[in-house]
Structure 1
Amino acid sequence: MRPISPDAASLQQDVHGLYSDHHAWLLNWLRRRLRHADNAADLAQDTFLYVLGRPEQIRELHQPRAWLSTIAHGLLVDKVRRQRLEQAYLTAIAQLPEPEVPAPETRLILLETLAQIDALLDGLKPKVRTAFLLSRLEGLGYQEIAERLEISVSSVEKYMATAIRHCYLAQRK
């Protein structure tokens, strides 16, 4: 077993201190916003798991509660988005004829892929997102997209450039 370096030990203390000083507060903050205490406890733990992945930021904190609540809120938004996506996916699958229903393993892969696409396109304006999806998923040309969205072809070109740039930058993060 390797000894812990002084810097790693200090970081470990910082994480422990953040947890012990603010976990109860975060849990209560989440309980006030959520209906179920179990969901609040899970989200509090997820928040600190997220923090563990960014220990270097702990040392620079001036407002730890603001940081923790921002992380927790973001995780909650992601969870709600994922639940909505999953429900829409399950609704779509329920409408398929039995022979076309994907196997459970395939469903899981498809759902994960949809979640990744959704996260990648997060932040795009609805028309930009729609134009991009019509192009990439349905294979429509710019003229067809323009007609469907009732916009000009030059707007479609701008939307596509915006979406492609957004995806590129999102992947680099």
Structure 2
Amino acid sequence: MTVYDPSLTQLYQHHHGWLYQLLRRKLGDAEYAADLAQDTFMRVLHADSLVEIREPRAYLSTIARGLMADMFRRRALEQAYLDALVALPEPLTISPEQRLLVLETLMEIDRMLDGLGSRTRDIFLLAQLEGLTYPAIGQQLGVSITTVKKHMVRAMTHCLILLDDAPE
């Protein structure tokens, strides 16, 4: 439960307009900017600990950048899935219900992989989704096979830990 803090109200009143305009310029879309600005303040509101914010604009823009990155990653994932669906021959097209289940599963996988570094995530996805061999991944990313193996172990361990911690 979040305790009401007047400084949060003041933070919102003084910086929401600025943050909204910043996001609107970066995104070129007023609705997405409004959503991300609101989500940014929700993150601040639901933070585990309330700390004194010395540089509110830097603090808010850092949170907003993270949310924007998540949004772009989600959009790219959704678009890649939709592009793959369009490429399917007509008889193989799946129902809207199946499409929703697949999209929800992809989002869950994305959340699982969110805790990995970008290189580890890329290596994992190249192996699992593209079916590339470790040497092919190493060549494509310019890293050694040993590095590919280390990142795959890290990714698999991360996924197993999350699966073990998942409620049944």
Alignment match, 1:39: 32
Alignment of 1:160 with 2:132, yes or no, is no
- Compute the displacement of 1:135 (Å): 5.4
Could you tell me how far apart the structure 1 residues matched to 2:41 and 2:161 are?
Answer: 27
Alignment of 1:124 with 2:118, yes or no, is yes
**CA 1:145–1:30 in structure 2 vs 1: closer, same or farther (change >3 Å)?**
same
- Compute the displacement of 1:102 (Å): 2.3
Identify which of 13, 18, 26 aligns with 1:20.
Answer: 13
- Compute the displacement of 1:22 (Å): 1.2
| Structure 1, 160-169 or 47-56: larger mean CA deviation | 160-169
Alignment match, 1:29: 22
- Compute the displacement of 1:65 (Å): 1.3
Q: With structure 2 as the length reference, what TM-score do the two structures score?
A: 0.72
- The answer to whether the Cα contact below 8 Å between 1:47 and 1:68 also exists between their aligned partners in 2 is yes
- The answer to whether the Cα contact below 8 Å between 1:124 and 1:163 also exists between their aligned partners in 2 is no
Letter in 2 for 1:101: T
Could you tell me how far apart the structure 2 residues matched to 1:109 and 1:24 are?
Answer: 37
Alignment of 1:145 with 2:137, yes or no, is no
| SS of alignment partner, residue 52 of structure 2 | coil
- Compute the displacement of 1:117 (Å): 2.2
| SS of alignment partner, residue 60 of structure 1 | coil
- The answer to whether the Cα contact below 8 Å between 1:146 and 1:153 also exists between their aligned partners in 2 is yes
**CA 1:109–1:13 in structure 2 vs 1: closer, same or farther (change >3 Å)?**
farther
CA RMSD of aligned residues (A): 3.2
**CA 1:20–1:168 in structure 2 vs 1: closer, same or farther (change >3 Å)?**
farther
Alignment of 1:87 with 2:75, yes or no, is no
| SS of alignment partner, residue 102 of structure 1 | coil
**CA 1:100–1:61 in structure 2 vs 1: closer, same or farther (change >3 Å)?**
same
What are structure 2's unaligned runs of at least 5 residues? none
Provide the aligned length of Structure 1 versus Structure 2: 157
Alignment of 1:109 with 2:101, yes or no, is yes
Could you tell me how far apart the structure 2 residues matched to 1:129 and 1:121 are?
Answer: 6
Structure of larger gyration radius? 1
| Structure 1, 110-119 or 45-54: larger mean CA deviation | 110-119
